[in-house]
Amino acid sequence: MRAFRWCRRLWPDSLFARLSLILVIGGLSIQLLSSSIWYDVRYSQVLEAPARLVMFRTVEVIQRLNENPSFPLPTSETFHVEQRSSPLPMTPHLNDAQENVERLLQDALHREVGDALQLSLLDVEIHDENGQPGTWSSLFGLSRVIGHFNFQLRLASGQWLHIQAIQARGWNGRPAWQVLGDYALRVYLLRALALIAVALVVVRLSTRPLRRLVRAASSLGHDIRQPPLPIEGPREMRQAAETFNVMQQQLIDLMGERTQLLSAVSHDLRTPLTRMRLRVESISEASLREKLIANIDQMETLIAALLDPASQGAAPEGHAAFDLAGLINEVVDEFAETGSDVRWNGAPATMVTGHAPSLRRVLHNLIDNALRYAGNARLALRRIDDRVEVEIQDDGPGIDEAHLTHIVQPYVRGETSDAAGTIGYGLGLGITRSIVMAHQGRLSLTNRAGGGLRVVIALPTHRP
């Protein structure tokens, strides 16, 4: 398990790095798995010169025997020839490397005497200068190659010639590290670099539609009516682009239907507001008249915002820098005038860029919820790096943990942790979240450890 976690930490994050790693590891693994083929080929290559030298000496013996059947056969330590009336037992199965050596001997024999004689290899080995079996060091040319040949062939007279020969081959005088370094550079490093270059080209070509999809998804919140994605690239990318275009059109249709509905509602609401304004203007007390007119203006602003609640703040029109702390002061004073338990210790001027009426609506909704279900609200404002956070806490029953993740969805009603019953959460939180998201912000709701709800609005100090 620890090894698995260690591998997970080493696993790269980007698609290019992952694909490059897969290609490099796969290519080098194939190279290692195919080393057995290389071993067989290299085995016969290093014995090519010794095999031909042995065959030249064998042909010379055959020619002498043809001239003089009583010719004394060589019996030295490096070249021992024995004439027999019957063949020795054949090797039941030769491996690929031995078969390659047998073909080398047969080819050399054929070049000298034609197809008259057939040869069979009994055994062949590679030894080093110390008489020890040589493998990788000999094949790499790091030590002297000495071939030990054991084969037999049938003469035209019907007799069999059994030959055991030892023949050395020249060796590479370069240091071992130099030979191995050159091999690793040309076989492994260059292959790895080539695979990385291929991965770079493949990833860039394959992920170009994916990058375009990411950019389109990121800008969808700013401009829902952006041009649809072109349908191009691999099949999966084309399917993703088609799905994205369908989703975008569905959102546009949904926004259009909601806009029409809210336009009708707002039109009907403006008529009683107009009558209220006419009646309020007849109030003789100036301070009360101004406050009521200000409240009517706020209601008209909210009605106008209903025309596009999901994209409010998405367009640059109507956005300006303003003091968020001052806006909170105004909202808190409005609730305090009605005797509500809303506490706010104040904060230094904090400038943000956005649509002030929409954010006023956010504060009204959240404070109103806190007062309705908890009877109190406490506000705090703090600046953290390039963002500001507005915190609203209450001492109410909170929200059931199972409903916290989707309580901000429109028309969702959640059960509180209090046994008093069900509290409705309809459009208020949904509209609040839409406005915050349109300002590139984040809305989070959590239950407090001591009871109550904690709502945090995080907004960038400068809208991108």
Sequential DSSP letters for 177-237: HHHHHHHIIIIIIHHHHHHHHHHHHHHHHHHHHHHHHHHHHHHTTT-TTPPPPP--SSHHH
What is the pLDDT confidence band of residue 136, given thresholds at 50, 70 and 90? low
Give a yes or no: residue 76 inside a domain.
yes
Residue with more model confidence, 115 or 355: 355
Closest to 273 measured CA to CA, from 296, 257, 307, 255? 296
Q: Render pLDDT for 6-51 as a digit per residue (tens, 0 to 9).
A: 666 777 777 777 777 777 777 777 766 665 555 555 666 778 888 9
> Highest mean pLDDT range out of 147-151, 176-180, 224-228, 316-320?
147-151
Give a yes or no: residue 425 inside a domain.
yes
Q: What is the mean pLDDT of the chain?
A: 79
Give a yes or no: residue 427 inside a domain.
yes
In this structure, the answer to whether residues 405 and 372 fall within a common structural domain is: yes
Residue with more model confidence, 301 or 252: 252
Q: Render pLDDT for 281-290 as a digit per residue (tens, 0 to 9).
A: 888 888 888 8
Residue 75 has phi, psi (to 5 degrees) of -135, 35
DSSP-derived secondary structure letter, 289: H
Closest to 47 measured CA to CA, from 184, 152, 151, 117? 151
| Predicted local distance difference test score (pLDDT) of residue 416 | 47
- Residue where a domain stops, chosen among 173, 191, 208: 173
What is the pLDDT confidence band of residue 166, given thresholds at 50, 70 and 90? very high
Arithmetic mean of pLDDT, 344-367: 90
What is the pLDDT confidence band of residue 355, given thresholds at 50, 70 and 90? confident
In the predicted model, is pLDDT for residue 456 greater than 90?
Answer: yes
- Residue where a domain stops, chosen among 305, 330, 354: 305
Please give the tally of structural domains in the chain.
3
Rounded CA separation 348/324 (Å): 9
Give a yes or no: residue 300 inside a domain.
yes
* Domain ranges, residue 443: 320-460
For the chain, percent of residues with pLDDT exceeding 70? 78
Cα within 13 Å of Cα(390), Cβ side: 27
Arithmetic mean of pLDDT, 62-84: 91
Residue with more model confidence, 408 or 397: 397
In this structure, the answer to whether residues 362 and 421 fall within a common structural domain is: yes
In this structure, the answer to whether residues 326 and 453 fall within a common structural domain is: yes
Arithmetic mean of pLDDT, 437-456: 88
Is the Cα torsion angle 119, 125, 130, 135 positive or negative in sign?
A: positive
In this structure, the answer to whether residues 324 and 439 fall within a common structural domain is: yes
In this structure, the answer to whether residues 141 and 270 fall within a common structural domain is: no
Residue 135: CB atoms within 10 A of its CB come to 12
Q: What is the CATH number of the domain that holds 262?
A: 1.10.287
| Predicted local distance difference test score (pLDDT) of residue 252 | 84
In this structure, the answer to whether residues 327 and 452 fall within a common structural domain is: yes
Rounded CA separation 98/91 (Å): 11
Least confident of 60-64, 67-71, 182-186: 182-186
In this structure, the answer to whether residues 286 and 326 fall within a common structural domain is: no
In this structure, the answer to whether residues 152 and 246 fall within a common structural domain is: no
In the predicted model, is pLDDT for residue 325 greater than 90?
Answer: yes
Bridge-partner residues for 123, per DSSP?
A: 150
| Helical pair 356-373 and 324-337, crossing angle rounded to 10 deg | 40
Secondary structure, 3-state, 122-180: EEEEEECCCCCECCHHHHCCCCCEEEEEEEEEECCCCCEEEEEEEEEECCCCCCHHHHH
In this structure, the answer to whether residues 336 and 431 fall within a common structural domain is: yes
In this structure, the answer to whether residues 413 and 332 fall within a common structural domain is: yes
Least confident of 202-206, 244-248, 387-391, 405-409: 405-409
In the predicted model, is pLDDT for residue 91 greater than 90?
Answer: no
Give a yes or no: residue 16 inside a domain.
no
Give a yes or no: residue 223 inside a domain.
no
In this structure, the answer to whether residues 324 and 446 fall within a common structural domain is: yes
| Predicted local distance difference test score (pLDDT) of residue 317 | 54
Q: What is the CATH number of the domain that holds 431?
A: 3.30.565.10
- Residue where a domain stops, chosen among 173, 203, 226: 173
Give a yes or no: residue 61 inside a domain.
yes
Least confident of 1-15, 67-81, 175-189, 326-340: 175-189
- Which tokens sit at 124? 């062949």
Give a yes or no: residue 225 inside a domain.
no
In this structure, the answer to whether residues 357 and 397 fall within a common structural domain is: yes
Is the Cα torsion angle 433, 436, 437, 438 positive or negative in sign?
A: positive
Arithmetic mean of pLDDT, 297-305: 72
Arithmetic mean of pLDDT, 430-443: 85
